[in-house]
Structure 1
């Protein structure tokens, strides 16, 4: 995939393009990309995705805290995996935010990217105030020599697949439906830091995972069957997201992963957690012994839900 940004200019050859933040590069995005690719193939040109380095709302509201499904690097890797020919990453600033749709189409799509067709997302709006819609884009395209078509949405299990729907599933702890939308398990990457080490006293040592960014969404509090990857190796795991209520935690949210068949020092090491299934809500137990017995049941439940990594 050829990356177009401030340091890398766009090729002079034409393309078919679409615009969006593409958070998660979920199955709905993948379906849109396939429509762009089909139109590009029909025309004998490249397929180009236009996206943004940061969430546009962060420019418009300084206190906005994104709840992202993917970092920029993750997003670019997924777009490349989808077979995109070119990706233009724009820096959304107040000057860009002030552009009306026609100005954006001329300045970026026509003059910079040499787009001959735009496949507009079925519900996507762009331009100052997002006041203009598909009919406007078609009209401006006729003036600029850009053929504008509307993409078809994708439904899965009766849900129109979108980034916002995926976030709602994660906020509710429904990682299975989030995976259905994404086409893969939802994952978080971070670094293992020292924790309270209570799990070790219960026979379940855990890795305290500090996410690499505060911008990514964390699934609802609870216990999950998961897969963890470190140093290129994958391990079945059970993961607790929560505030340690049995031990009167200070209210801060932690992500603690117990890796099966693993006994090594992970402090300071990178670790990725892919959430497979939610086992139960987090709750307070009357004693450490009660918690240990529940953890033993959770471990059995996790093993029955997961096939060994690599199968």
Structure 2
């Protein structure tokens, strides 16, 4: 897959079969659209193109609202789309100037003159252009004169999948990582750099790697304990992750930590990926470190029991 970070890098295609969207999560509903994209590209001898945006349009249009968190970082999204088999991915910077394009300018200048669309697939609720005034009608009105075909994925077809990025975000914010995985078709993950912590975990027999997630827009699941796998330079390991403010020691900041099973090397500065498999329990305050240690031992047993059932 070829990736372009602005339109100036992209060379107009002779037969582009394209779709447009933020595709956060690249979930089953998105995959239904992408499957149709591949079908059309193959039957028409064209090349598949996905046009997506970064930052997310809402981050630009409503910058004061920091509540929107994304299921995927832009790098995670690109990797998933590459694995699906997309030919071209255009990650265009979403700016106010871009958002102010009229629907007609957007269709002619971007879709036709820059990308070279011959077929365009959109979801039933796709909107574009200044004040989101553009939609299927505007696309159909210009399709004959600009010589492209437009296909809408009906609401019924997408709703049959019963999936939305909003549903997935809600599941993750509730700690329901297994439910989110059912919606996504894969397990949610967090990637980041291992940083130094206060090393309290190792004093009670449960050393943890503290994860720093650079992308502030990345969604972090609900506080609690999770069964996870960890991928890093040394290989692939099982473990249990903790998200929370460490109330037992009166912590002041929200931490992301992982106790990696059967592993005792220093990995400060290394990038690792945690994949969330199962929610084990909510974060609670214990009477002291000894009580916390007893609970962590039970958490480890529960985590191992989960892996043994897989």
TM-score range, shorter chain: over 0.9
Query: What is the aligned partner in structure 1 of residue 52 from structure 2?
Result: 51
RMSD: 1.9
Aligned counterparts of 1:293 and 1:147: Cα–Cα separation in 2 = 64
1:98 to 91, 97, 100: 100
SS of equivalent to 1:112: helix
Aligned-pair CA distance for 1:218: 0.2
Aligned-pair CA distance for 1:154: 4.3
SS of equivalent to 2:285: coil
Task: Give unpaired runs (5+ residues) of structure 2.
Answer: none
Query: What is the aligned partner in structure 2 of residue 297 from structure 1?
Result: 298
- 64-73 vs 292-301, which deviates more? 64-73
Q: TM-score, normalised by structure 2?
A: 0.92
Query: What is the aligned partner in structure 2 of residue 204 from structure 1?
Result: 206
Task: Give unpaired runs (5+ residues) of structure 1.
Answer: none
1:72 to 63, 74, 80: 74
**Is the CA contact 1:187–1:272 (under 8 Å) kept in the aligned structure 2?**
yes
Number of equivalent positions? 306
Aligned-pair CA distance for 1:200: 1.1
- Spell out, residue by residue over 1:9-49, the C-alpha distance to the aligned partner (whole angstroms, 9 max, x if none): 22431111110012222222222111111111111111111
Q: Does 1:122 align with 2:121?
A: no
- Spell out, residue by residue over 1:113-133, the C-alpha distance to the aligned partner (whole angstroms, 9 max, x if none): 110111102332222112333
- 117-126 vs 55-64, which deviates more? 55-64
Aligned-pair CA distance for 1:220: 0.4
SS of equivalent to 1:144: coil
Q: TM-score, normalised by structure 1?
A: 0.92
2:189 to 158, 180, 187: 187
Query: What is the aligned partner in structure 1 of residue 220 from structure 2?
Result: 218
Aligned-pair CA distance for 1:145: 2.0
